[in-house]
Amino acid sequence: MVVLDNLELFFPHILLDQIGGEIDPLGELVKALAPVCRALDDAAQLFAIDVLSSIIVQGTEVGIAIRHEQDYISLTDMVKSFDGGSALIEQWLKNKDTVLFLGVWEQIYNPGFNSPEFEGIKNEAGRNSFYLSAKKWIDATSAIGLHAKAGRYGGTYAHRDIAFEFGSWLSPEFKLYLIKEFQRLKDEEARATSLEWNFQRMLAKVNYRIHTDAIKERLIPLQLTKVQTATVYASEADLLNVALFGMTAAQWRQTNPNQSGNMRDIATLEQLVVLSNMESINAVLIHQGLAAPERLTQLNAIAITQMRSLAGIGAIKQLGKLPER
């Protein structure tokens, strides 16, 4: 049997003199620390909130954050344009109807809600001496519908269901504009997600057809000369520029002094697709230890082949078109 000095000081639940087999100190340590780890994780979740976006409601910027994978709206921002400011939040929380609404919401969506504590608060609500802040509500009932945060992006946040209810209390008109702007934001996010998915799907189709022979001569890069391949370029970006466009960024600017941006800004969709492929291929060639001149020669040949393949694919033009609103 393994005997560890003072083990009982760390794990008092272990009776050393009654253990008939070997002690697994690591296993016992993991068991002992498990509740601590869970508590730390819960604490991190309690204070974690990321402000990701904002909307303008009747001239007021209102922050929207993600918590528990749900949208939370800043009540602190919502009251900025109202007389009373942040004090309005506590006034709303004192209302018995508000307490009932919050309690029902938590009972539906929060398995860890402290219902007995809620009953006590509910019985006190409505009295002149009754006081309830967001922090007090959260601490007493383990509520998740509200979130009070100090510091940067601090203030009181509420799940969108609760925020809309608060908006009704502030002003029916404000609530309607809040819902309208929030839905507009969600629609834009959905369009962006759809566009990204369509781009990836179309890109996969384009790459699948790299072996086709549709040719559009004006887009196909020229084969590089020996002088060009022997030149040492300042960066890998310029090496790719020369392989595809036949010149460095500086050379392009000298040739196009009145053109704003750079050569990649005015590149065709076909060229951008090939450039993306070349970046991945170049990384592999670097990993293989190939010198820059040899990589440049190979990348130029790849650019010519792929541009010949892509030039006749009409569907790629759709990648640059945003969906209609």
> pLDDT tens-digit profile of 225-264?
766 665 656 677 888 888 888 888 888 889 988 887 788 8
Inter-residue contact 243 to 299 (CB < 8 Å): yes
Within this chain, do residues 145 and 57 fall inside the same structural domain, yes or no? yes
Within this chain, do residues 160 and 216 fall inside the same structural domain, yes or no? no
Overall size of the chain counted in residues: 325
Within this chain, do residues 176 and 229 fall inside the same structural domain, yes or no? no
Name the strand (E) or helix (H) holding 159: strand 155-159
Within this chain, do residues 221 and 242 fall inside the same structural domain, yes or no? yes
Query: Does residue 20 belong to any structural domain of this protein?
Result: yes
Within this chain, do residues 57 and 158 fall inside the same structural domain, yes or no? yes
Please give the average per-residue pLDDT across 289-293, as a whole number: 85
pLDDT of residue 305: 87
Within this chain, do residues 97 and 218 fall inside the same structural domain, yes or no? no
Query: Does residue 199 belong to any structural domain of this protein?
Result: no
Best CA proximity match to 170, nearest among 72, 63, 66, 60: 60
Give the integer Cα–Cα distance in Å for 188 and 44: 30
pLDDT of residue 217: 42
Domain count, the chain: 3
Other residues' Cβ atoms within 10 Å of the Cβ of residue 51: 16
What is the chain's mean pLDDT, rounded? Answer: 76
Tokens 């000095």 sit on residue: 5
Query: Does residue 325 belong to any structural domain of this protein?
Result: no
Residue range 196-227, pLDDT digits in tens = 656 665 665 555 454 334 334 444 566 667 66
Within this chain, do residues 83 and 161 fall inside the same structural domain, yes or no? yes
Within this chain, do residues 66 and 174 fall inside the same structural domain, yes or no? yes
pLDDT of residue 156: 92
Answer left, alpha or beta for residue 59, where phi above 0 means left and psi between -120 and 50 means alpha. left
Record the pTM: 0.48
Within this chain, do residues 230 and 299 fall inside the same structural domain, yes or no? yes
Burial of 278 (0-12, 13-18, 19+ CB in 10 A): buried
Give the integer Cα–Cα distance in Å for 213 and 193: 32
Within this chain, do residues 60 and 174 fall inside the same structural domain, yes or no? yes
Residue range 9-55, pLDDT digits in tens = 434 444 444 444 454 555 555 555 555 555 545 544 444 455 578 88
Give the integer Cα–Cα distance in Å for 108 and 45: 20
Radius of gyration (Cα) for the chain, nearest Å? 31
Question: Range of 128's domain?
Answer: 50-183
Best CA proximity match to 319, nearest among 163, 198, 234, 224: 198
Within this chain, do residues 169 and 68 fall inside the same structural domain, yes or no? yes
Query: Does residue 243 belong to any structural domain of this protein?
Result: yes
Type of residue found at 248? T
Planar angle of CA 131, 136, 140, nearest 5 degrees = 115
Torsion sign across C-alpha atoms 59, 65, 71, 75: negative
Query: Does residue 200 belong to any structural domain of this protein?
Result: no
Q: Find all residues with CB under 8 Å of 162, minimum gap 6, and list them.
A: 101, 102, 105, 145, 146
Query: Does residue 196 belong to any structural domain of this protein?
Result: no
Type of residue found at 157? Y
Query: Does residue 1 belong to any structural domain of this protein?
Result: no
HSE, CB side, 13 Å, CA atoms: give it for residue 152.
Answer: 3
pLDDT at 105 over 90: yes
Give the integer Cα–Cα distance in Å for 153 and 53: 12
Within this chain, do residues 118 and 168 fall inside the same structural domain, yes or no? yes
Give the integer Cα–Cα distance in Å for 191 and 118: 41
Query: Does residue 188 belong to any structural domain of this protein?
Result: no
